Amino acid sequence: MGDAPSRTGRYAGIVVAGLLPWAWFLLRDRLGVVTDVLAILLPILALVVALLALLVGVLARRRRPAFAVAVSFAVSTLLVGIVATVGPWVPHGSGTVDPSRGIRFAAANIGAGELEGADDLIAQKADVLVISEIGQPLTERLSEAYPEHVAYWNGPAVGVFSRWPMTVLEQPGPDLPGYMLRVHAPSGDFDLLAVHVPKAWYKSGGSSYNTPADTIPYETTVANHHRLIEQIALRAARDDHPVVISGDLNTTDRGRDYRVLADPLKDAMLNGWGRPSQTGRWAALFVRIDHLFVKPGWCSDDTGWFQVPKSDHHGLVATIGPCKT
């Protein structure tokens, strides 16, 4: 009888240690910029914390209760990291596009490749193409295939190329890191927010919407990044046309900013399994930061990802349009 409370206490400690990491899903939208940063780093943080917990357990292995608690916490932390990373990639099967009204859509951050990626972009045979980090050489090259186009080479450096006429509703500015356009498609007009949101960073002083590209890093504070995402979501919410949002949003699908967009809209790339879109030096973070959102009432089919030479992003491609009824 004497050791019953201690045994109960040991089991309680193991259970609490196992449950504690799952508090992430309760807190991830409640602590503002703190959890925004943690969401970006989550896969690495989960691994580091789990290894530290195991190290503590090994050092305390002579005390079996402490070892069991450490193992419980470590395993649970790894599971949370996996679920939080892979969970946003699960397909949602939102419906099928009306085949008579489908729009082939592609978007890519061209990165350092510029002209080296031109043929890969044209090969997607997109009706509408959104390019981030575009410059004059690629604009001129793509304009040969897409006479209807707009491009802004400062700040967000966004270009939009279309087979159909477009009307500029809003130019890039301090509250919109890209264009808002009305695309006059044969199946009906839709509004496109083609954006390249600055990378969320720990300090201010990055480039603004009118800073010449490549002069200083294209980055902003975590708080201002969130503000820009809210501005994009606001424009979509108050628009009475079908709306498409696409580009390099520098927004991980684990974070609060993603849910600001995905909760009222539909993630068009989740017609199939999601995947990381960032490669190169940020690949270890397993982040999907290139996105395509549509308003309810629209669906997506034939989604996929393609490589762009010398870019540290995968391009995205999908057929989008009104859902088949």
Residues 287 and 196 in one domain: yes
94-111 mean pLDDT: 93
Residues 194 and 74 in one domain: no
Into how many domains does the chain fold?
2
Residues 15 and 76 in one domain: yes
Residues 255 and 119 in one domain: yes
Q: Give yes or no for a contact between 40 and 287, defined as CB atoms under 8 angstroms apart.
A: yes
Range from 12-21, 230-239, 271-280, 305-314 that averages highest in pLDDT: 230-239
Residues 108 and 69 in one domain: no
Residues 67 and 150 in one domain: no
According to DSSP, residue 197 is labeled P
Residues 104 and 30 in one domain: no
- Among 73, 88, 103, the domain boundary falls at 88
- Identify the CATH number of the domain in which residue 275 sits: 3.60.10.10
* Rounded Cα distance, 312 and 111, in Å: 6
Residues 78 and 106 in one domain: no
Residues 58 and 96 in one domain: no
∠ CA 280-120-90, rounded to 5°? 60
Task: Please return the burial class of 213, using the count of CB atoms within 10 Å of its CB with bins 0-12, 13-18 and 19+.
Answer: middle
Please give the structure tokens belonging to residue 73.
């916490």
Model-level pTM? 0.92
Q: Give yes or no for a contact between 151 and 130, defined as CB atoms under 8 angstroms apart.
A: no
Residues 123 and 68 in one domain: no
Residues 298 and 202 in one domain: yes
Would you say residue 119 has pLDDT above 50? Answer: yes
- Among 53, 88, 123, the domain boundary falls at 88
3-state secondary structure of 236: helix
**pLDDT in the model for residue 207:** 67
- Among 88, 120, 142, the domain boundary falls at 88
Residues 6+ apart with CB under 8 A from 26: none
Residues 84 and 145 in one domain: no
Express each pLDDT in 232-281 by its tens digit. Answer: 999 999 999 999 999 999 999 999 999 999 999 999 999 999 999 998 88
Would you say residue 215 has pLDDT above 80? Answer: no
Domain range enclosing 216: 92-322
